[in-house]
């Protein structure tokens, strides 16, 4: 029992800290905080797909959009109860991610990036041309926050939901990382030929990790839908994809704590920069990414490791 408690301790502390922040922050800051939490959830699954499994998948943000639009269209516009709407959206996410993964499984490196980029563009076109079903180029907005299991999805209560989803995503990905399948994902990303020689079905591994992470992206999207009660095609486009990249690369790709660090840094940066530099902030992010790739390939979390090592602080974060 005590061992279970000790294992659960870091989780409880983290959850408590996140919730405390949720209760303390108000108004504008609360909004930023919630956006940051959702972005973090999305970035975690992208980090696993790109940083660990080494799949350059530009479709990730599209699945995020799929989740958001899915629950909005089904749960709000079509007036389904929330639970079946969520379930149906998950099923669609799984099916579509399979549809993308299976034909592209042989593509490596940049070619996979290109194929998934094309898929992402098709998704955006579909959203814009969706007419009343998707709200077209203006998207869907102004819908009321629905209820799930009696909880109305708004305000502080909703922030708790967001935190729960973030922690669940983190936990699921961590379990994956520690499992033999996680090892197989890394092996396939490192050297698919040697992985096959170990009996690993490379195609199946690639497809599975794509499906799992894309579905997690859709889950993040479902949470996003009720942040501002507004979804539109411009959100789920290349700009967001680039920002997710930024967080992963600058934070430290392949490590969950790295990505989370990247999310926090980007959020704080954009807040502090926006008054000073305004719309040119993306330019600065681009420069930072270039510097990170050239000079800190292991990301900010790598620098944190170095500092921890110098101070003798023991084991590195996951």
Does 23 engage in binding with other proteins (CB under 8 A)?
no
Contacting residues for 35 by C-beta, under 8 A, at least 6 apart: 227, 267
Which residues in 95-114 contact other proteins (CB under 8 A)?
103-104, 106-111, 113-114
CB of 209 to other proteins, least distance (A): 10
HSE-CB at 127 with a 13 A cutoff on CA atoms is 27
Pick from 38, 40, 42, 52: which binds other proteins (CB under 8 A)? 52
Q: Using CB under 8 A, which residues numbered 204 to 223 contact other proteins?
A: 208, 212
Nearest distance from C-beta of residue 52 to other proteins, angstroms: 8
Q: Rounded to the nearest 10 degrees, how much is the dihedral formed by the CA atoms of 170, 214, 32, 117?
A: 140
Residue 138 binds other proteins (CB under 8 A) = no
Binding mask 269-308 for other proteins (x = CB under 8 A): ----------xx-xx-xxx-xx--xx--x-----------
Residues 6+ apart with CB under 8 A from 45: 60, 169, 173, 213, 214, 216, 217, 220
Residues in contact with 254: Cβ distance below 8 Å, sequence separation at least 6, in sequence order: 47, 51, 52
* By the rule CB under 8 A, 197 interacts with other proteins: yes
Choose between 189 and 262: whose C-beta lies nearer to other proteins.
189
Q: Can you count the helices (H) and strands (E) in the chain? A: 14, 4
Tell me the number of residues near other proteins by CB under 8 A: 65
Biggest CA pair distance of the chain: 59
Pairing of strands 151-152, 230-231: unpaired
Neighbours of 283 (CB within 10 A): 10
Which residues sit at the interface with other proteins, rule CB under 8 A? 52, 54, 56, 103-104, 106-111, 113-115, 118-119, 121-122, 125, 128-129, 172, 175-176, 178-184, 186-187, 189-191, 193-202, 208, 212, 238, 242, 245, 249, 254, 279-280, 282-283, 285-287, 289-290, 293-294, 297
């Amino acid at each position: 029992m005590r061992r279970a408690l000790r294992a659960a301790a870091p989780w409880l502390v983290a959850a408590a800290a996140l919730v405390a922040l949720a209760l303390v922050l108000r108004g504008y800051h609360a909004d930023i905080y919630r956006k940051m939490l959702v972005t973090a959830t999305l970035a975690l699954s992208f980090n696993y797909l790109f940083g660990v499994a080494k799949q350059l998948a530009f479709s990730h943000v599209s699945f995020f959009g799929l989740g958001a639009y899915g629950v909005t269209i089904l749960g709000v516009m079509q007036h389904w109860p929330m639970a079946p709407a969520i379930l149906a959206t998950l099923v669609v996410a799984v099916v579509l991610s399979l549809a993308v993964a299976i034909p592209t499984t042989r593509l490596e490196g940049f070619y996979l990036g290109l194929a998934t980029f094309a898929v992402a563009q098709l998704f955006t076109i579909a959203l814009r041309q969706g007419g009343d079903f998707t709200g077209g180029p203006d998207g869907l907005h102004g819908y009321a926050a629905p209820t799930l299991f009696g909880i109305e999805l708004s305000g502080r209560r909703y922030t708790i939901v967001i935190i729960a989803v973030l922690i669940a995503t983190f936990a699921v990905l961590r379990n994956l990382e520690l499992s033999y399948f996680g090892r197989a994902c890394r092996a396939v990303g490192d050297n698919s030929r040697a992985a096959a020689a170990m009996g690993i079905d490379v195609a199946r591994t690639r497809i599975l990790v794509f499906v799992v992470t894309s579905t997690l992206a859709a889950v993040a999207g479902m949470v996003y839908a009720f942040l501002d009660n507004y979804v539109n095609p411009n959100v789920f486009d290349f700009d967001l994809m680039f920002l997710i990249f930024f967080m992963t690369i600058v934070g430290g790709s392949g490590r969950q704590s790295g990505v989370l660090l990247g999310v926090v840094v980007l959020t704080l940066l954009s807040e502090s920069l926006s008054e000073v530099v305004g719309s040119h902030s993306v330019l600065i992010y681009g420069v930072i990414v270039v510097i990170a790739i050239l000079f800190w390939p292991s990301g900010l979390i790598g620098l944190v490791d170095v500092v921890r090592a110098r101070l003798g602080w023991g084991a590195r974060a996951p």
